Structure 1
Amino acid sequence: MKRPGPLLTLLAGLVLALFLLTLNATTGTRSASSYQEQSPTPAPARGSASLTPSPTPSRSRAADADYAGRTDDDAAAIAVSVRGGRAIAYFCDGRTQESWLKGDVADDGALRLTGSHGAKLEGTLEDGRKIAGTVEVSGVRHAFTADRAKKPSGLWRATATVRSAKIDGGWIVLKDGSQVGVVTRDGEPSPAPRIDPRTGAVTVDGHRLTARPATP
C-alpha cells in the first residue's frame, strides 16, 4: 500500500493557504470598519449671525425748541433755547440781576450750563414738554420749571451801541404775555422796556432797536 505523504502535504498546504487568505481578508475589513467608526464626526459650523455683535441702540438728540417759565420762589424768570444739541439760557429778575448761561444738551436730555461769575444751571428735558431743574446765580440757588414755549413766547435779545454806550438787552416773554427783562448799558443793569413780541421792536434811550429770538 502506497503512502499518501506528498498528496496530504499538498492538501494541507492548500488548506493552510486558504485559511490564511480568509483570515487576512476578514481582519482587513474589520480594521477599516473600526477606523471609520472611531473617526470623529466634525462639529457643525456655527452660524455667522452668532458672531456678529448686536448693534447698540442710538439715542435721539433733543429736539430744537424754546422753554420759558419762572423760578419756584417766583423771584425771577428763566428761558432756555435748544438748538442742535446746544443750549443757551437766560435768568432775569426784571430789575438788576441777570445771567446768560450756555452748554451742551446730553442725549438723555440732561443740561449742565455755565455762565459768568460761577453761574450754573442743571436741568432735565422731560419728554420735550418742559425743563425742570435748578439755577444758581450770585450764590443763590433757585428751582425752576420752564414749559415749552410757542412764539412769541421765549427768549429775546438785542445788542447795539447807543450814544457810545454798549447796550445789551435780554427779555423773557412768558406764555401769559408778561415780560421780564434787563438792559445793561456798559455793564450797568436796569429794568428793560417792553418789546413788541410780534416784531421785536423796542425803544432804548430814544433809539429804536430790534430784539430777536436768542439761540445758541
Structure 2
Amino acid sequence: MKRSGPLLTLLAGLLLGLFMLSLNATTGEKPTSASVQPSASGQPSPSTKASPSTAPTKSTPPPSPSTSATAVPEGLYTGRTDDDSSAVAITVRDDKAIAYVCDGRNVESWLQGDVEDDGSLRLTGKGGASLDAKLKGIRQLSGKATVGSGSYPFTIAKAKKSSGLYRANSTVAGAKIEGGWIVLPDGEQVGILRRDGKPSPAPAIDPETGAVTVDGQQLTARPVTP
C-alpha cells in the first residue's frame, strides 16, 4: 500500500504535462500569409502586391455621316459662254431651274429641270438641247450647254440686281410673237424675237418694267422663274 503513493504522484505529473502541452497548442500564433521584407531602414515591413487596376474604357460614338454636297442658292445666274459667242441665264427656285441660251441672232433654247442635292443641274429643252452644270464655289455655276450642233461651255455668276431673264408671248398684227432676253450685269441685252417662228435680234426692253415695243405695239416681257 505504501508503493501506490509515488505512482499516483507520477501519474499526476504526466497528466499535468499533457494538459500544459495541449494548452500551448491551442493558444499558439498562426502564421500569416503576408511575407516580410526588409525596409530601407532595415526594419522588416510587410510586402503587399497591388492588383492591377483597369481604367474604364470610354466608348466612342460612330462619326455622324457628313456630306460634301452643297445646295445651289436660289436666284438668277447670268454670264457669257467661254467663247463669248452667246449668253446663258439660269434661274433657280425650289429645287427647279429654267435656263435660256441665246446668241442674239438665231441660236436659242429654253431648258428646264431639277436641281440635285449635290449641287448639279441637268436641264433639257426642245430638239435634244441639254445643259449640265454644277455649283462652283458659292456664287457660280459652271457647265456646258448643247444646242443643235453647238457646244457652249460656260461659268456664270449669281446675278446682281440689274441682271435679268425675261420672256414675252403675244400676238402682234396677226403674227405670233415669242421673245427671250438676257440682261447681263453690265447692262448688255442678248435676245431673240420670233415672229411666227422666224428668229431675229430682239429689240431692247426696259429692265425696270419689262416694256418692249414690237412693230409699233408695246408688250410686256415678264421675269422668268421656275
User: Normalised by the size of structure 2, how large is the TM-score?
Assistant: 0.69
Equivalence for 2:174:
164
Q: Which residue of 1 aligns with 2:127?
A: 117
Which stretch of structure 1 is more off in the superposition, 120-129 or 173-182?
120-129
Letter in 1 for 2:88: I
| Cα distance in structure 1, aligned partners of 2:181 and 2:127 | 20
SS in 2 for 1:117: helix
**Corresponding residue SS for 1:106:** coil
State the distance in 2 between where 1:64 and 1:207 align: 34
Q: What is aligned with 1:82? A: 92
Alignment match, 1:151: 161
Q: What do residues 46-69 of structure 1 show as CA deviations (whole Å, max 9, x unaligned)?
A: xxxx8xx98756866432110000
One-letter code aligned to 2:208:
R
Q: Is 1:99 aligned to residue 106 of structure 2?
A: no
Structure 1: runs of 5+ lacking an equivalent: 1-49
Q: What are the Cα deviations for residues 1-55 of structure 1, in whole angstroms up to 9, with x where unaligned? A: xxxxxxxxxxxxxxxxxxxxxxxxxxxxxxxxxxxxxxxxxxxxxxxxx8xx987
| Code of the aligned partner of 1:81 | T
Deviations 1:118-144 (A, max 9, x none): 111111122430111111111211111
Query: Any gaps of 5 or more consecutive residues in structure 2?
Result: 1-60
1:174 to 184, 206, 214: 184
Return the offset for 1:96: 1.2
Structure 2 CA distance, aligned partners of 1:54 and 1:131?
31
Which AA in structure 2 matches 1:165?
A
Identity of aligned residues (%): 57
RMSD: 2.1
Q: 2:151 aligns to what?
A: 141
Aligned partner of 1:204: which letter?
A: V
- Hey, what's the Cα distance between the residues in 2 that align with 1:129 and 1:62? 9
Match of 1:9 in 2: none
Comparing both chains, which one has the higher relative contact order based on Cα–Cα distances under 8 Å and sequence gaps of 6 or more? 1
Q: Aligned-pair distance for 1:203?
A: 0.4
Q: How many residues align?
A: 168
Within 2, Cα distance between the matches of 1:154 and 1:71? 16
Shift, 1:154, TM fit: 2.3
| Distance of 2:122 and 2:75 partners within structure 1 | 17
Q: Which one has a bigger Cα radius of gyration?
A: 2
Alignment of 1:32-71 (within 5 A): 61-71=71-81
Q: Secondary structure at the match of 1:155?
A: strand
Please identify, of 167-176 and 152-161, the stretch whose mean Cα deviation from structure 2 is larger: 152-161
Equivalent residue for 1:196? 206
